[in-house]
Amino acid sequence: MRWVTFTENNHDAERTGLLVDGRIHASTPDTTLIGLLGDDGTRLAAQGDELRRDPHQVFELDAVRVCAPIPRPPTVRDFYAFEQHVRTARQRRGLEMDPDWYELPVFYFSNPYAICGPDADVAIPPGCAEMDYELEVAAVVGIGGADLDPEDAQRGIAGYCVMNDWSARDIQRREMKLSMGPVKGKDFATSIGPVFVTPDELEDTRRNKSYDLEMTASVNGVEYSRASLADIFWSFGEMLAYASRGTRVETGDVIGSGTCGTGCILELSMVHGTDRYPWLQPGDVVELSVERLGMLRNRVAAGGPLRPLR
């Protein structure tokens, strides 16, 4: 099933609907996508079957504004799970791969209040001169739990969507020298969408620890990045199991894969130079596409002034 969260034109209330033949079969106004999660998928499947037969309303896609599938997730964790991206970035800094990377699927917490959806403008954060995108896939937790094993954690995933982990590289660089980052280098925006796709839609593409889905990124219509989700080193089940170790993950939590190989300007500019791959500027249009998950499009906007702290 392929789900969307949307608003009607000139209305603020978010609605949930099932995509059927390119049109939205909408649930009742008080139904949310996160409210349909929390079990083994039975409730979501039942609602989908009902909407195919008897939708509350039907909308054309161009008559609504599509939002982030989970507009306000309880938490957002972003991992670091593609070896090519990690290896390239470290090699260009004269570093070998740390053996612990193969033992610990590390992550950082991002800002759930900074979630945005497709076609939303993303402002450059104050003080940033090196704005970047990151091509990722996000998993959404359907069933929470503590101290999960990878198999149970994988079965508890309700669906997937495209994710752009926007990055202020110059701010991030300064913060991480202080051993407390990424912080403001990351928490100004995370885009997810446009659709929420249940695992059954992807099962025929399963390969290695994930799905063989082509991932691409373009800036102003020029392709920058290309990879496959099947190249991931850590499975989403393994990442979730680690996240739940000694604590809990909950329904609606968003789990980012981390950047795929070639999946950001930082990596590309390290290899090919900033003349070929310059940092993002106001007016640039970034399009991230993942096979079967759709295309996530955002325009970069000018940011506000940097206000002094003292």
Cα dist. 120→74, 108, 115, 238, 307 in Å?
21, 24, 10, 32, 24
The CATH classification number of 76-301 equals: 3.90.850.10
pLDDT tens, residue by residue, 137-159 = 999 999 999 999 999 999 999 99
Neighbours of 12 (CB within 10 A): 6
Return d(Cα 135, Cα 190) in angstroms, integer.
11
Return d(Cα 17, Cα 31) in angstroms, integer.
9
pLDDT at 165 over 90: yes
**Residue 171 backbone dihedrals phi, psi, to 5 degrees:** -65, -45
- pLDDT, residue 235, reads 98
Neighbours of 180 (CB within 10 A): 8
pLDDT tens, residue by residue, 8-28 = 976 778 999 999 999 999 999
- Take residue 153 and report the two structure tokens written for it: 């954690």
pTM of the model: 0.97
pLDDT tens, residue by residue, 186-218 = 999 999 999 999 999 999 999 999 999 999 999
- pLDDT, residue 209, reads 95
Return d(Cα 144, Cα 295) in angstroms, integer.
28
- Take residue 1 and report the two structure tokens written for it: 């099933």
- pLDDT, residue 297, reads 98
Strand partners, 140: 159, 254
- pLDDT, residue 86, reads 96
- Helix residue spans in the chain (DSSP H): 42-53, 83-91, 150-155, 169-177, 236-243, 265-272
Mean pLDDT for the stretch of residues 283-303: 98
Q: Which amino acid is at 61?
A: L
pLDDT tens, residue by residue, 232-283 = 999 999 999 999 999 999 999 999 999 999 999 999 999 999 999 999 999 9
- pLDDT, residue 92, reads 81
pLDDT tens, residue by residue, 48-105 = 999 999 999 999 999 999 999 999 999 999 999 999 999 998 988 899 999 999 999 9
What is the residue extent of each domain of the chain?
2-66, 76-301
Q: Which amino acid is at 273?
A: G
- pLDDT, residue 9, reads 78
pLDDT tens, residue by residue, 33-53 = 999 999 999 999 999 999 999
Return d(Cα 254, Cα 73) in angstroms, integer.
7
**How much is the mean pLDDT over the chain?**
96
